[in-house]
C-alpha cells in the first residue's frame, strides 16, 4: 500500500519519500539579501525529506516586503544559494527554489528609491505592514503595472529561474499562493484591470501562465512546480468565483507537464476570514483538483503523520508538505519512520513561535535531533 515512504517519480527525480519541506520565510538572509552558511546548515539538516522547497526568494528588489528575505537576482545571492544547494546535495537531498514577488504586500520603506509598490490594480491590502524599523503602517495603495512593466516582471522571474539554475537547484516552484503578485492578478478581489490581464479568468490567469512558460523554457517543464492557495484568505484575498478561477488555472497548468502542483488547503484563519471577505468563499481541498491535474499533487496545511498517511493512502495527494512540524523537527522523516514502524514513543519538538522570523541560530538550527536525546 502506498504510504509516505513509497518512492515517487517527480519530474526526472525519484524521491525516496513523500515528505516535503514546505516553503518557509525565516528572515535570516545575510548582507545583500544573500543566503549564507547558517542558511545552508538549516536546509542540510532537513535534507531527509523527499523534496525541500526554499523559503520564498524575491526575483527583484521590487519584490520585497519583509526584512532579511533572500533574493535570487544578484551574483552574491547566487553564490549564497550555491552554499545551500551544495550542502543539501552533500546530505543526499533535493531542493527547489520558491520564486517570489510580493506585489502590493510591501511599502516604500522596502522599495528601491522609496517607490510605491506595484500590483495588478491600485487596490491596497487591508491591515498593517511591519516596517524594517519594527514599527507598523497601513499597507499603501499600490500602483497598477503597465503592460510594458508586466513584461519586465515576467522577465525578472525568468532571470530568477536562470540564477536558480546556476546556483545548483534541482528545480523551481512559482509562489502563486498567499496573496502575492501572481495571486493578485489571478483573483478578482484585487485584479480590476480591463486590459488583456484583467476581466475574465482567461485574462487574470495570463500573468501566472506567462511566468510559468518562461520558467519551463529555462528548466524544462518537469523541473517546475506551482504553488496555489485556492482557499486562502491571507493578505486580504478573495474571489467572486473561486471554483471557476482555480479550476481554469489548474486545468491550464495541467497541460504543461509540470513537476507538480502544490495546493494549500484551508487553514483555520481562512475559514474564519474567508466568508467575511466574500459570500462566494469556498474551501477547496487538494482532492478537488485531482481530476483537473494529472501530474504529481502536493498538498499542505496542518498535516500530522496520521492525516498525511491517510491522504496518501486514499489517493487525495501524492506527497505532503509540512511547515511548522518540519521547522521544529529537522529529522522529521526519521521521526515519521519510527511511527511507521509502529513505535508510539516518538517525541516531537514544539515550534518556538517568537523565533520564526529573524534572528540567528536560536530557533533555526538548534532544534534537537532524536539522536541528541
Ligand atoms: C514561519 C513561516 C513562514 C512561511 N513562509 C512561507 C513562504 O515563504 N512561502 C509560502 O508559500 N508559504 C509560507 N508559509 C506557509 C507554509 O508553507 C505552510 O503552508 C503553512 O505553515 C501551513 O502548513 P503547516 O500547517 O504544515 O505548518 C510559511 C509558514 C510559516 C509558519
- In three-state form (DSSP H/G/I as H, E/B as E, the rest C), the secondary structure along 194-236 is CCCCCCCHHHHCHHHHHHHHHHHHHHCHHHEEEEECCCCCHHH
Q: From ligand 1's centre to the CA of 324, what distance in Å?
A: 7
Q: Which residues pair with 14 in a beta bridge?
A: 9
Ligand 1 atom nearest 267 alpha carbon: 22
Ligand 1 atom 2: residue of nearest CA? 24
Ligand 1 atom 21: residue of nearest CA? 323
C-alpha distance from residue 12 to each of 90, 119, 168, 258, 373 (Å): 19, 35, 15, 11, 37
Domain positions in the chain: 8-372
Output the pLDDT for position 143. 98
Ligand 1 atom nearest 227 alpha carbon: 11
3-state secondary structure of 7: coil
Output the pLDDT for position 373. 76
Ligand 1 atom 24: residue of nearest CA? 323
The whole-angstrom separation of Cα 153 and Cα 101 is: 9
3-state secondary structure of 23: coil
Cβ 351 vs Cβ 324: under 8 Å: yes
- Does ligand 1 come within 6 angstroms of the Cβ of 356? yes
Q: Whole-prediction pTM value?
A: 0.99
Question: Is 180 a known active-site residue?
Answer: yes
Output the pLDDT for position 295. 97
Output the pLDDT for position 233. 95
The beta-strand segments (E) located in the chain are 8-10, 13-15, 19-21, 51-58, 95-100, 118-119, 128-130, 136-138, 143-144, 171-175, 224-228, 260-264, 296-300, 319-322
The whole-angstrom separation of Cα 310 and Cα 272 is: 26
Output the pLDDT for position 364. 99
Output the pLDDT for position 105. 98
Q: From ligand 1's centre to the CA of 241, what distance in Å?
A: 25
- Does ligand 1 come within 6 angstroms of the Cβ of 56? yes
- Does ligand 1 come within 6 angstroms of the Cβ of 144? no
Q: How is domain 8-372 classified at the CATH fold level?
A: TIM Barrel (3.20.20)
- Does ligand 1 come within 6 angstroms of the Cβ of 232? no
Catalytic position from the list 66, 139, 180, 305:
180
Ligand 1 atom 5: residue of nearest CA? 24
Give pLDDT tens digits along the chain (373 positions).
Answer: 899 999 999 999 999 999 999 999 999 999 999 999 999 999 999 999 999 999 999 999 999 999 999 999 999 999 999 999 999 999 999 999 999 999 999 999 999 999 999 999 999 999 999 999 999 999 999 999 999 999 999 999 999 999 999 999 999 999 999 999 999 999 999 999 999 999 999 999 999 999 999 999 999 999 999 999 999 999 999 999 999 999 999 999 999 999 999 999 999 999 999 999 999 999 999 999 999 999 999 999 999 999 999 999 999 999 999 999 999 999 999 999 999 999 999 999 999 999 999 999 999 999 999 998 7
The whole-angstrom separation of Cα 13 and Cα 72 is: 23
Ligand 1 atom nearest 322 alpha carbon: 26
Ligand 1 atom nearest 175 alpha carbon: 11
Amino acid at each position: 500500500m502506498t504510504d509516505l515512504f513509497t518512492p515517487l517519480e517527480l519530474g526526472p527525480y525519484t524521491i525516496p519519500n513523500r515528505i516535503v519541506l514546505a516553503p518557509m520565510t525565516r528572515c535570516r538572509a545575510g548582507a545583500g539579501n544573500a543566503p549564507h552558511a547558517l542558511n545552508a546548515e538549516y536546509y542540510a539538516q532537513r535534507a531527509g525529506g523527499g523534496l525541500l522547497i526554499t523559503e520564498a526568494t524575491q526575483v527583484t528588489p521590487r519584490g520585497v516586503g519583509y526584512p532579511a528575505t533572500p533574493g535570487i537576482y544578484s551574483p552574491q545571492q547566487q553564490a549564497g544559494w550555491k552554499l545551500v544547494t551544495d550542502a543539501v546535495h552533500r546530505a543526499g537531498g533535493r531542493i527547489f527554489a520558491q520564486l517570489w514577488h510580493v506585489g502590493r504586500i510591501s511599502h516604500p520603506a522596502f522599495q528601491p528609491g522609496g517607490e510605491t509598490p506595484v500590483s495588478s490594480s491600485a487596490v491596497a491590502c487591508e491591515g498593517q505592514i511591519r516596517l524594517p524599523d519594527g514599527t507598523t503602517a497601513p499597507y499603501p495603495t499600490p500602483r497598477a503595472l503597465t503592460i510594458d512593466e508586466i513584461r519586465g516582471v515576467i522577465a525578472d522571474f525568468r532571470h530568477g529561474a536562470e540564477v536558480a539554475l546556476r546556483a545548483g537547484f534541482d528545480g523551481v516552484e512559482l509562489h502563486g499562493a498567499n496573496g502575492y503578485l501572481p495571486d493578485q492578478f489571478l483573483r478578482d478581489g484585487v485584479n480590476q484591470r480591463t486590459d488583456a490581464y484583467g476581466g475574465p479568468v482567461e485574462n487574470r490567469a495570463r500573468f501566472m501562465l506567462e511566468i510559468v512558460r518562461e520558467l519551463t523554457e529555462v528548466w524544462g517543464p518537469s523541473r517546475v512546480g506551482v504553488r496555489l492557495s485556492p482557499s486562502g484568505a491571507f493578505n486580504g484575498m478573495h474571489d467572486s468565483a473561486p471554483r471557476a478561477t482555480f479550476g481554469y488555472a489548474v486545468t491550464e497548468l495541467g497541460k504543461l507537464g509540470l513537476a507538480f502542483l502544490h495546493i494549500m488547503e484551508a487553514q483555520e484563519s481562512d475559514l474564519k476570514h474567508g466568508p467575511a471577505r466574500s459570500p462566494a468563499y469556498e474551501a477547496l481541498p487538494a482532492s478537488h483538483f485531482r481530476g483537473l491535474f494529472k501530474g504529481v499533487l502536493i498538498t499542505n496545511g496542518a498535516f500530522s503523520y496520521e492525516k498525511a498517511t491517510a491522504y496518501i493512502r486514499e489517493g487525495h495527494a501524492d506527497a505532503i508538505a509540512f511547515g511548522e512540524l518540519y521547522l521544529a523537527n529537522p529529522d522529521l522523516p526519521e521521526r515519521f519512520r519510527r511511527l511507521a514502524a509502529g513505535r508510539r514513543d516518538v517525541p516531537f519538538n514544539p515550534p518556538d513561535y517568537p523565533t520564526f522570523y529573524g534572528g540567528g541560530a536560536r530557533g533555526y538550527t538548534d532544534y534537537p535531533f532524536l539522536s541528541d536525546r
